[in-house]
Amino acid sequence: MKRLLAALLAIIALIPFIGVFTNDPEVQPPEDPPVIEPVDPEPQPQEPLIEEKVEITLISPEKDKTMILVNEEIQEYLSIYHKGIGQNYYRYMTDHFIGNQVVNLKWQISREPEFTVVYLSTRPDMKDADEYLCREDHLDISNLYTGKDYYWQICAVYRDYAVMSETGHFHTEETPRIVLIEGVSNTRDIGGCYTENGTCLNQGMIYRTASADNVTEYGRKQADEDLHIKTELDLRDAGESGTRLEKSPLGEAVRYINAPGILYTNITKEAYWPSARDIFKVFADKDNYPILVHCRAGRDRTGTAMIVILGLCGVPEETIYKDYELSFFSRAGTEMQEEGREVEILLGYVSDLMKNLHRFGDENTTLAGCCRNYLLKIGLTDEEIETIRLIMTGDAGIELPHRKTDVRIPEIRTYE
């Protein structure tokens, strides 16, 4: 027992030294594991963003197509015309001018734009183009000139860039220029026909119509934006419309002139010369153009004045008759009821007027010379007469405005 107790005491005495003998200098206590910073992966090459190419396709009119701007009845009339044939069409007693005056432009864009601008010009370089703001893929254009080349482009506009189409081209057939003014009947341009020496009368200067009293708001817009009417010459007697007009129904910006017209041969009689002088002096002032001239139907008093203007410019008599008989395609021009002899009677009045005009010259004087002599006789000057002739057959320096939009077009983008 004593021996066991001695052994335990010996062991207890050695305990402080055990760590010394077991502490291996090569063995270190474990350290905290190192902190490994995350490493970003190597960037992978990205495919470049490719923006979809915008493609604009012009659909109609087809390239180089010829557009006929009069309806089939008038096409027939023009192809078989002889004096008096208008009786065949007089029976319509409605506005058979309507038809084919509108050209539908149509296109397709591969990516829908915010809006488009349509450019239309008579010049291949697209200078002086009319501009139309459009949010559809088509646009109706009316009241185009006849016998003209037209060029058009579509501009597709996006938020920060725009894309322009190729240039399209179409042609309008040489026909009388029937125009549209909503609410007004018997409306056409006296330009577009040819003189004896082959000169084409300028379009857009003189429009002949029936009364404009019932013009609609849209008709006013057509008269302003399409035709740029500056002066309305009313050949009715004051108050004939039921009230004495003080301003033009076409709008505040249109100058209104009332000068009572003269029927057929009366215009050559001396008693009517002062009234005739007042009428033709309106056409001798460049500041009045474009002019819309009318009476009630646009056939008799208006026709009388236009016969003198066309004759002065050198238009052949057959063409003057052909223009006159176009009134029989309109409602306003077919109000006379004479048991099927309406055209025969009316053309008799025109023939008598032609004979009376020829009395202002000799047998060798052309109709143009006779009309010139007549205008001198009633009180116009040589300069005024030449102004009328130059406006219709030459370049009188009258520039018509072009339709413009007020939208901002961003940078035009092109593709290789």
Residue 164 has a pLDDT of: 96
How confident is the model over 6-12, as a mean pLDDT? 53
Domains and CATH numbers, the chain: 54-175 (2.60.40.10), 176-404 (3.90.190.10)
Contact 198, 92 (CB under 8 A): no
Determine whether 92 is exposed, middle or buried from the number of CB atoms within 10 Å of its CB (0-12, 13-18, 19+): middle
Confidence grade of residue 2 (pLDDT, cut at 50, 70, 90): low
User: Minimum mean pLDDT among 224-233, 349-358, 393-402: which range?
Assistant: 393-402
Question: What are the distances in angstroms from CA 217 to CA 98, 157, 224, 368?
Answer: 19, 30, 11, 39
For residues 28 and 356, the model is more confident at 356
**Distance between CA atoms of residues 389 and 383, nearest Å:** 10
How confident is the model over 116-127, as a mean pLDDT? 96
Residue 238 has a pLDDT of: 77
**Distance between CA atoms of residues 331 and 95, nearest Å:** 5
Q: Would you give the distance in Å from CA 398 to the centre of its chain?
A: 18
Mean pLDDT, rounded, of the chain: 89
- Is the pLDDT reported for residue 401 higher than 80? yes
User: Minimum mean pLDDT among 18-32, 62-76, 392-406: which range?
Assistant: 18-32
How confident is the model over 57-72, as a mean pLDDT? 95
Confidence grade of residue 283 (pLDDT, cut at 50, 70, 90): very high
**Distance between CA atoms of residues 188 and 347, nearest Å:** 20
Residue 34 has a pLDDT of: 60
Confidence grade of residue 20 (pLDDT, cut at 50, 70, 90): very low
Confidence grade of residue 22 (pLDDT, cut at 50, 70, 90): very low
Residue 340 has a pLDDT of: 82
- The CB density around residue 67, as the number of other CB atoms within 10 Å, is 16
Percent of the chain with pLDDT over 70: 85
Three-state SS sequence of the chain: CHHHHHHHHHHHHHHHHHHHHHCCCCCCCCCCCCCCCCCCCCCCCCCCCCCCCCCEEEEECCCCEEECCCCHHHHHHHHCCCCCCCHHHHCCCCCCCCCCCEEEEEEEECCCCCEEEEEEECCCCCCCCEEEEECCCEEEEECCCCCCEEEEEEEEECCCCEEECCCEEEEECCCCEECCCCCCCCCEECCCCECCCCCECCCCCEEEECCCCCCCHHHHHHHHHHCCCCEEEECCCCCCCCCCCCCCCCCCCCEEEECCCCCHHHHHCHHHHHHHHHHHHHHCCHHHCCEEEECCCCCCHHHHHHHHHHHHCCCCHHHHHHHHHHHHHCCHHHCCCCCCCHHHHHHHHHHHHHHHHHCCCCCCCCHHHHHHHHHHHHCCCHHHHHHHHHHHHCCCCCCCCCCCCCCCCCCECCCC
Strand order through the sheet with 206-209? 177-178, 188-189, 206-209, 291-294, 231-234, 255-258
How confident is the model over 210-214, as a mean pLDDT? 94
Confidence grade of residue 99 (pLDDT, cut at 50, 70, 90): confident
Phi, psi at 104, each rounded to 5° = -95, 115
- Tell me: the pLDDT tens digits for 321-345? 999 999 999 988 888 888 789 999 9
How confident is the model over 350-367, as a mean pLDDT? 96
How confident is the model over 284-289, as a mean pLDDT? 97
Residue 224 has a pLDDT of: 96
Determine whether 116 is exposed, middle or buried from the number of CB atoms within 10 Å of its CB (0-12, 13-18, 19+): buried
- Is the pLDDT reported for residue 21 higher than 50? no
Question: Whose CA is closest to 390, among 302, 290, 286, 293?
Answer: 286
**Distance between CA atoms of residues 324 and 344, nearest Å:** 13
**Distance between CA atoms of residues 79 and 375, nearest Å:** 34
- Is the pLDDT reported for residue 25 higher than 80? no
Confidence grade of residue 49 (pLDDT, cut at 50, 70, 90): very low
